[in-house]
Amino acid sequence: MGLLDVPVSPAPIERFRTVLGEKQYAELLELVGRARQEIGSTVVWNVNSTARGGGVAELLQALIAYSRGAGIDARWLVVDGPPEFFQVTKRLHNELHGSAVDRVKLTDEERAIYLKVSEHNAAALLERMRPGDVVLLHDPQTAGLVAPLVRAGSLVVWRCHIGTDQAGESVRGAWEFLTPLVREADAFVFHRQAFVWPGLDQRRVHLIRPSVDAFSPKNQDISPVAVHGILAAAGVLADGPASEAIYQRLDGTRGRVERRMFVDQEGPLPSDVPVVVQVSRWDALKDPAGVLQAFARAIAPAGDAHLLLGGPDVTAVADDPEGREVLAGCHAIRDELPEDVRARVHLAALPMEDVEENAAMVNALQRYATVVVQKSVAEGFGLTVAEAMWKGRPVVAGRVGGIQEQIEHGRSGILVNPTDLDEFAGAVNGLLGEPRRAARLGQAARERVRREFLGPRHLEDYGALVEELLRERAGAPGR
Ligand code: UDP
């Protein structure tokens, strides 16, 4: 057993010249210069539990690439362990999310497995590290590494990417187990104040919000022709320039969308109707069923809009029984709809074989949308919201979790009570009926993401944190 290296090629920081304002770009260059000086040859190790799939992996991919492009020696490792270890961490993950059905206390045996595997991973990491390096540990899978690394004299930051507005019993149960493990870290990072655990030294807590990568296949600017091409090639639109179904892969080469989505629909989307789109995992907390019901009840009767719900093709994923259930529930609701409404509902399962192709499909769907919705009833951050905002889309989303960090209600999107279907439908109908207001919201949304939710702001926050820790240590040797 050992840690897995994830190689990341440097990405040029100069790319941001094309998407940032002059002032913001100048600030970025200044920041990079200072970080290079302050961080110097210190290696910044990132450790998480997976190299592919999921928001954290995507985030690390981008931030490490830009850090390396900026001359910082950032590296990425993935923890290793037997299936029993990951069963424990999966449970902790669900508990922290507040989505665990019951709180099941870890047995002594499970605790022992978790701690032993963590010790092994920490030892493997220490073998590679030089004294003075910095380690950024991500999520519960790495919490057990904090104490051994701190003991060995490393500077350790533990970041929790999960959080919930209301900490119920299961959330507190996970805190109880994890707090003593992470307590000694030099810094803790959370997305937002509401997610901070009470048992930690609050002076060491830092708030850093996630970001989206403006140049990844999911968010890169693609022309309307390419949007049509991709959706035609994928079978969502009847016709379009399928030869133009192209995007740029992370390695800079040209990708082409070739697979089709599995779309439950009477026929492809007509090209002249407004479309309401939600793209997310098939998860009850994203409430796709609620979106469908609100559409059928109050959005479809008010106009000619269609609804497209998109998410990963869970039939191909063996380990997502919940996703299959939620998708099956949506099919069942759709089947029961009156014929004329059913004809306006499209359920799309996006192939997952090639994650970059999948991302290009998400990109095209979000860009094609007249209104993007994210009717989540709970959300750690809600990357899909920032993704849609970056594409200049007007967004209607649940006033929950990290979504509230992103949308300023009435300015850069609309926040609604996600359990009130009429309020949700009213907000969507309002935007469909007022294209000018919708366009204004979309523009403000893009500006907000440009300032607050792209890589440069995220790197700046990380840079400030690491520099602060290095300065503190320089001032207080031999803690
Ligand atoms: N996503 C994707 N393919 C899909 C559906 C969703 O890549 O078929 C992405 C979506 O674009 C977003 C991420 O999955 O980047 C979901 O992150 P979010 O924070 O919205 O929710 P989570 O799934 O982490 O709860």
How far, in Å, is the centroid of ligand 1 from the Cα of 25? 28
How far, in Å, is the centroid of ligand 1 from the Cα of 219? 12
Q: How confident is the model at residue 254 (pLDDT cuts 50, 70, 90)?
A: very high
DSSP code for 375? -
387 and 398 share one domain = yes
Question: What's the domain count of the chain?
Answer: 2
CATH number at residue 35: 3.40.50.2000
Instruction: Tell whether 419 is covered by a domain.
Output: yes
How far, in Å, is the centroid of ligand 1 from the Cα of 340? 30
Mean pLDDT of 136-141: 96
- Using the predicted structure, report yes or no on whether residue 171 has a pLDDT greater than 80: yes
Instruction: Give the Cβ contact number of residue 122 at 10 Å.
Output: 26
- Using the predicted structure, report yes or no on whether residue 404 has a pLDDT greater than 70: yes
- Which residues surround ligand 1 with Cβ inside 6 Å? 55, 218, 279-281, 311-312, 350, 358-359, 362, 381-384, 387
Instruction: Give the Cβ contact number of residue 318 at 10 Å.
Output: 8
- Using the predicted structure, report yes or no on whether residue 153 has a pLDDT greater than 90: yes
Instruction: Tell whether 350 is covered by a domain.
Output: yes
CB 198 within 8 A of CB 341: no
Minimum CA distance residue for ligand 1 atom 11: 384
How far, in Å, is the centroid of ligand 1 from the Cα of 312? 9
166 and 281 share one domain = no
Mean pLDDT of 136-143: 96
How far, in Å, is the centroid of ligand 1 from the Cα of 402? 14
Please report the pLDDT score of residue 102 as a whole number: 62
Which numbered atom of ligand 1 lies nearest the CA of 311? 8
Q: Is 90 helix (H, G, I), strand (E, B) or coil?
A: helix
Instruction: Tell whether 260 is covered by a domain.
Output: no
Integer angstrom CA distances of residue 312 from 67, 348, 361:
30, 8, 11
Report H helices in 205-264: 224-233
Mutational pocket test of ligand 1: of 347, 362, 373, the residue with most ligand atoms within 8 Å of the beta carbon: 362
Mean pLDDT of 134-141: 96
Report which of residues 209 and 1 the model is more confident about. 209
185 and 323 share one domain = no
Instruction: Tell whether 233 is covered by a domain.
Output: no
428 and 469 share one domain = no
pLDDT digits (tens, 9 = 90+) for 259-279: 999 999 999 999 899 999 999
Instruction: Tell whether 225 is covered by a domain.
Output: no
Which numbered atom of ligand 1 lies nearest the CA of 381? 19
Minimum CA distance residue for ligand 1 atom 7: 359
Instruction: Tell whether 91 is covered by a domain.
Output: yes
Instruction: Give the Cβ contact number of residue 52 at 10 Å.
Output: 10
Instruction: Tell whether 355 is covered by a domain.
Output: yes
168 and 280 share one domain = no
Helix (H) / strand (E) containing 111: helix 108-128
CB 420 within 8 A of CB 452: no
pLDDT digits (tens, 9 = 90+) for 4-46: 999 999 999 999 999 999 999 999 999 999 999 999 999 999 9
- Using the predicted structure, report yes or no on whether residue 51 has a pLDDT greater than 80: yes
413 and 469 share one domain = no
Token output for 57: 């992996």
How far, in Å, is the centroid of ligand 1 from the Cα of 209? 16
For all residues of the chain together, what is the average pLDDT? 94
Please report the pLDDT score of residue 242 as a whole number: 76
The domain in which residue 430 lies consists of: 271-452
Beta bridge partners of residue 414, listed in sequence order: 396
Beta bridge partners of residue 212, listed in sequence order: 454
pLDDT digits (tens, 9 = 90+) for 99-134: 666 667 789 999 999 999 999 999 999 999 998 899
Q: Is 43 helix (H, G, I), strand (E, B) or coil?
A: coil
Mutational pocket test of ligand 1: of 383, 393, 404, the residue with most ligand atoms within 8 Å of the beta carbon: 383
- Using the predicted structure, report yes or no on whether residue 189 has a pLDDT greater than 90: yes
163 and 290 share one domain = no
How far, in Å, is the centroid of ligand 1 from the Cα of 34? 34
pLDDT digits (tens, 9 = 90+) for 288-346: 999 999 999 999 999 999 999 999 998 766 667 888 999 999 999 999 999 999 999 99
Report which of residues 355 and 315 the model is more confident about. 355
Please report the pLDDT score of residue 215 as a whole number: 96
How far, in Å, is the centroid of ligand 1 from the Cα of 388? 12
Q: How far apart are CA 269 and CA 385, in angstroms?
A: 23
Beta bridge partners of residue 279, listed in sequence order: 310
Instruction: Tell whether 25 is covered by a domain.
Output: yes
204 and 317 share one domain = no
Burial class of residue 436 (count of CB atoms within 10 Å of its CB; 0-12, 13-18, 19+) = exposed
Mutational pocket test of ligand 1: of 384, 391, 404, the residue with most ligand atoms within 8 Å of the beta carbon: 384
Which numbered atom of ligand 1 lies nearest the CA of 350? 8
How far, in Å, is the centroid of ligand 1 from the Cα of 119? 32
In 3D, which of 424, 266, 259, 239 has the Cα closest to residue 346? 266
CB 130 within 8 A of CB 43: yes
207 and 299 share one domain = no
448 and 460 share one domain = no
Token output for 374: 């994210």
- 228 phi/psi in degrees, rounded to 5: -60, -45
31 and 72 share one domain = yes
Q: Is 267 helix (H, G, I), strand (E, B) or coil?
A: coil
Mean pLDDT of 386-399: 98
- Nearest-10 crossing angle of helices 435-452, 383-390: 110
Which numbered atom of ligand 1 lies nearest the CA of 355? 7
42 and 181 share one domain = yes
Which numbered atom of ligand 1 lies nearest the CA of 384? 20
Q: How confident is the model at residue 53 (pLDDT cuts 50, 70, 90)?
A: confident
Integer angstrom CA distances of residue 8 from 46, 56, 76:
12, 15, 8
CB under 8 Å, gap of 24 or more: what pairs does 21-25 form?
21/450, 24/450, 24/451, 24/456
Please report the pLDDT score of residue 460 as a whole number: 94
